[in-house]
C-alpha cells in the first residue's frame, strides 16, 4: 500500500520513517510513502498557506488552493469527476524513486480489485482513486477496526490540517472522510497522520516479524476471526473481542521486590491462557469498562467477570 502525506512540515516525518518497523517496511517495499510539502504549491513570495477566517475569530485557516493543487498534482480529482494525473512537485520520497509505484500507473490487470469496503473510486480506466483522508479533531474516531480498513486499501492520501482548520471546501471537494485520533485538539494533523500510518502499517502482511502478533494485542480481531485453541478452550492470550491486552513480563523473574506471577513460570499452557484471559478482563474492567459492552465474551468469561466484580 502507498501513503501520500500532504503537510507544511515535511521534515516531521523523517525520523518516523527512519526508525523501527516503519523503516523496515519501507525498505522492504511492503509499504510506500511520499511526503508532499504544501508550500511547494504556493505562488507568492512568502509561500503563504494560511489566511484569516471569514466571519472573524481566532487563528488562521489553511487555504484551499495549495491543498487542491497538491492533490491535483497527485492526479486526485474532485470527487465528482476525474482528471489525468499531472507531474508532481515538492515531493520528498522516503523510499527510492524506483520503488515507488502509482496505483494510477498500474496496468488494469495489475490493479488491485476494488473492494466493497474500499472507498477508493474507479476512474473508469481501470485505476483507483486513492482514499483521501483529512486529519482533524472533527473527524470520525480512528480505531483498531478502522486501521484494519485502511490497511485493506491500496492508496491513501493523508492531509495534515494546521492552525484553526482547513478551508471546508477541501473536505467537500476532495476528501472521502475526516479522521480524528482522539478527543483532544492537537496543533496539527502530522502527529495524527503518524499514528494512523503506524497503526495501519503493522497490520499489513509481512510488516511484523510474527504475523499473528498484531491480532493478539489490545483491540485485536474478534474471536470469530481467530481459530480456537487446540484444546477446545477459547484462546485467552490475545485481545480478541475488543478487550485490552494482558500484562507482559520478561526476565528477571523478580524486580523491585515484585515476582512474575507463578503461573507464567510453570509451563502449564492451559493455566497460562486462563490467567491471561482473566487479566484481560480485569484490566478492561478497571481501565475501559465501556469496551465490555461490545466485547465477544464466552460463558466462561462472564463467570470470570462476575468473580472479578465481586472481589472488587
Nearest approach in angstroms of CB 8 to ligand ADE is 13
Residues 74-103 contacting ligand ADE, CB under 6 A: none
181 lies in the binding site for ligand ADE (CB under 6 A):
yes
- Select from 158, 27, 157, 36 the least CA-distant residue to 95: 27
Answer for the pair 112, 153: CB distance below 8 angstroms, yes or no.
no
C-alpha cell at 233: 478452550
CB-nearer residue toward ligand ADE: 171 or 279: 171
- Pick the binder of ligand ADE from 33, 192, 207, 304 (CB under 6 A): 192
Nearest approach in angstroms of CB 165 to ligand ADE is 9
- Pick the binder of ligand ADE from 161, 214, 239, 241 (CB under 6 A): 161
Stretch of 26-34, 43-51, 179-187, 253-261 contacting ligand ADE, by CB under 6 A? 179-187
Q: How many residues bind ligand ADE (CB under 6 A)?
A: 13
186 lies in the binding site for ligand ADE (CB under 6 A):
yes
CB-nearer residue toward ligand ADE: 62 or 201: 62
CB-nearer residue toward ligand ADE: 3 or 246: 3
- Pick the binder of ligand ADE from 136, 154, 171, 236 (CB under 6 A): 136
CB-nearer residue toward ligand ADE: 25 or 135: 135
141 lies in the binding site for ligand ADE (CB under 6 A):
no
Nearest approach in angstroms of CB 200 to ligand ADE is 14
The DSSP-derived string for the chain is -EEEEEES-TTHHHHHHTSHHHHHHHHTTSSEEEEEEGGGG--STT---EEPPTT--SS-EE-HHHHHHHHHHTT---TT---PPPPP-SEEESS-GGG---GGGS-TTTSPPPPTT----B-SSS-BPPEEEEEEEEEEEP-HHHHHHHHT-SEEEEEE-BTTEE-HHHHHHH-SEEEESSSS--SBSHHHHHHHHHHHHTTSTTSSSSGGGGTTSTT---GGGSPPPTTSSPP-SS-GGGPPPPP---S-SEETTEEPPGGGTS--HHHHHHHHHHHHHHHHHHH-HHHHTTS---HHHHHHHHHHHHH-
CB-nearer residue toward ligand ADE: 137 or 263: 137
- Pick the binder of ligand ADE from 82, 154, 180, 284 (CB under 6 A): 180
Nearest approach in angstroms of CB 161 to ligand ADE is 5
185 lies in the binding site for ligand ADE (CB under 6 A):
yes
222 lies in the binding site for ligand ADE (CB under 6 A):
no
Point out which residues bind ligand ADE (CB under 6 A).
135-137, 139, 161, 180-182, 184-186, 189, 192
Amino acid at each position: 500500500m502507498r501513503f501520500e502525506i500532504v503537510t507544511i512540515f515535511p521534515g516531521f516525518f523523517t525520523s518516523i520513517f527512519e526508525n523501527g518497523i516503519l523503516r523496515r517496511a519501507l525498505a522492504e517495499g511492503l509499504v510506500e510513502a511520499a511526503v508532499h510539502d504544501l508550500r511547494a504549491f504556493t505562488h507568492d513570495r512568502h509561500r503563504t498557506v494560511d489566511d484569516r477566517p471569514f466571519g472573524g475569530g481566532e487563528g488562521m485557516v489553511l487555504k484551499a488552493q495549495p491543498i487542491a493543487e497538491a492533490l491535483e498534482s497527485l492526479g486526485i480529482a474532485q470527487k465528482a469527476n476525474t482528471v489525468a494525473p499531472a507531474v508532481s512537485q515538492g515531493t520528498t520520497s522516503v523510499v527510492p524513486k524506483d520503488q515507488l509505484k502509482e496505483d494510477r500507473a498500474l496496468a488494469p490487470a495489475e490493479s488491485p480489485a476494488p473492494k466493497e469496503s474500499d472507498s477508493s473510486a474507479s476512474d473508469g480506466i481501470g485505476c483507483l482513486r486513492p482514499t483521501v483522508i483529512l486529519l482533524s479533531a472533527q473527524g470520525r474516531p480512528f480505531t483498531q477496526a478502522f486501521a484494519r480498513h485502511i490497511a485493506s486499501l491500496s492508496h491513501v492520501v493523508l492531509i495534515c490540517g494546521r492552525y484553526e482548520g482547513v478551508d471546508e471546501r477541501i473536505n467537500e471537494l476532495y476528501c472521502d472522510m475526516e479522521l480524528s485520533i482522539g478527543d483532544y485538539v492537537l496543533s496539527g494533523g502530522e502527529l495524527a497522520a503518524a499514528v494512523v500510518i503506524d497503526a495501519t502499517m503493522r497490520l499489513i502482511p509481512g510488516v511484523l516479524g510474527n504475523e499473528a502478533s498484531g491480532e493478539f494485542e489490545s483491540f485485536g480481531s474478534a474471536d470469530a476471526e481467530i481459530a480456537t485453541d487446540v484444546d477446545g478452550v477459547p484462546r485467552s492470550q490475545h485481545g480478541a473481542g475488543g478487550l485490552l491486552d494482558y500484562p507482559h513480563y520478561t526476565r528477571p523473574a523478580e524486580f523491585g521486590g515484585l515476582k512474575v506471577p507463578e503461573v507464567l513460570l510453570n509451563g502449564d499452557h492451559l493455566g497460562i491462557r486462563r490467567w491471561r484471559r482473566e487479566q484481560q478482563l480485569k484490566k478492561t474492567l478497571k481501565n475501559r469498562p465501556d469496551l465490555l459492552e461490545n466485547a465477544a465474551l464466552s460463558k466462561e468469561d462472564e463467570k470470570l467477570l462476575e468473580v472479578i466484580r465481586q472481589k472488587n
